[in-house]
Homo-oligomer: A and B are copies of this chain.
C-alpha cells in the first residue's frame, strides 16, 4: 500500500528530510493499521537529524509520536477495532515493569522507522487508546513528552499533594510537567529565560517563576519558596550546565530527574552534595505503555489540555524542524497529517 512518507538521513541535517512514496507491508495477524492524524516533534528528532544522538546509519522515517485512527486490524488483534483513536508508544516493546535493554530496543524514529507518514502499521501491543475528547493534534503530544513528565513526577518522583517541583524551561516535557503537577496539587516552580513564557507558565499554574537570565541566584528562589529546604523533585532538562544547580535546588533526600541530558555532554558534579544530602539523580527514559495508560487516565479525569505551540502542515515538516531548532516554543510543535 503506497503512502506518503518522510525519510531522513541521520546526521545529514534537516535538509536531508524528503517526502517520498513508500510501500506498506501486508498486515500481520497481530498488527493494526493506523491513519495518522498528527505527529509531534521532540528535541530528540532534531538531534538525530544533526547527528548528536549517537551512531545511527542509513536512512530512517523520522519522529516517534503519532495519533490517529485505526483503519484495519489483523485477524488476531483483540485490543482495537477500526474507528478507534490511538497513540503510538515511544518504546514498542516496553509494556510494563522496569526497563531492560530488550524492552527499550527499536525506538521509532531512531533505531527503527518512525511515524512521519500518513499510514503507520504496528503490533497492537505498541499502541494505546487516545484520551477521550482530545484532537489528534493534542493527543500526539503524549507518547514522549507527556509520558516523560509523568514518569519523572509520579513514577520516579512519587510526588503527591503538597510536594514541590522545580521545572526548568518551557518546552514539551517541561510544560507537561507543569500541567500535571498543577492537576495533582503539587507546587510547580518554573525557571526560564523568557518573561513572556514565564507569564504563560503562571497562567498554567506555576506557583513561582524566575528568569535565570535576570536572577542568577534562582536556586535561592527555590529555597525561599520551599522554606529553605529545596524542592522535592527537580526536573532537569539542561544536563551538563544545569545539573550542579539542580542538585543544590533539591531538598535533602530529594530527587533530580534527569530528562534532558541527552545532549551528549559530560558534566561535573560534587560527590559531596550527593552524599551529604542523601540525594538521588536518576535518568528518565520516557516510559512504558502502562505509564502511558496511567497518563491517559489522569488526563481524562482532569481538565488538562496539552499546550500546542504551533501546528505545521504535513508538507511543511522542514519548517517544523527548523522552528523547533530555534528553541523559542512553549509546549509542543506538531505536524498535522490528516483531518482530526
Q: Which A residues are closer than 8 A to B by beta carbons?
A: 28-30, 54, 76, 95-101, 104, 154, 158-162, 164, 180, 183-185, 187, 207, 229, 239-240, 243, 252-253, 258-259, 261-285, 288, 290, 294-295, 297-302
Contacts and interface: CB of A to CB of B under 8 A. Distances in A.
Contacts of A97: 95-97, 288, 290
A3 to B, nearest CB: 24
6 residue pairs, one from A and one from B, having the closest CB atoms: A261-B271, A162-B298, A96-B97, A275-B283, A274-B283, A96-B96
Given A54-B272, A261-B272, 7 more contacts: A95-B97, A96-B96, A162-B295, A262-B275, A274-B282, A275-B284, A278-B285
Contact of A298 (B185, B295, B299): B185
A301 B207 CA distance: 9
Contacts of A158: 158
A235 to B, nearest CB: 13
Contacts of A272: 54, 261-264
B268 A277 contact: no
B275 A285 contact: yes
A301 B301 CA distance: 21
B274 A99 contact: no
Nearest to A184: B161
A300 B226 CA distance: 12
B252 A100 contact: yes
Contacts of A101: 229, 252
A266 B284 CA distance: 23
Contacts of A28: 29, 76
A259 B264 CA distance: 27
A221 B284 CA distance: 27
A271 B240 contact: yes
A302 B279 CA distance: 27
26 contacts: A99-B278, A100-B229, A104-B278, A154-B161, A158-B158, A160-B184, A160-B298, A161-B302, A162-B299, A162-B300, A162-B302, A185-B185, A243-B271, A258-B275, A262-B276, A263-B271, A263-B272, A266-B271, A267-B271, A271-B283, A274-B282, A275-B283, A276-B283, A278-B284, A278-B285, A281-B282
A133 B208 CA distance: 20
Contacts of A288: 97
A285 B281 contact: no
Nearest to A227: B297
A131 to B, nearest CB: 11
A33 B86 CA distance: 33
A132 B29 CA distance: 34
A162 B158 CA distance: 14
A275 B301 contact: no
A77 to B, nearest CB: 13
A269 B282 CA distance: 12
Contacts of A162: 294-295, 297-302
B95 A96 contact: yes
Contacts of A159: 160
A302 B163 CA distance: 11
A274 B274 CA distance: 15
A261 B184 CA distance: 30
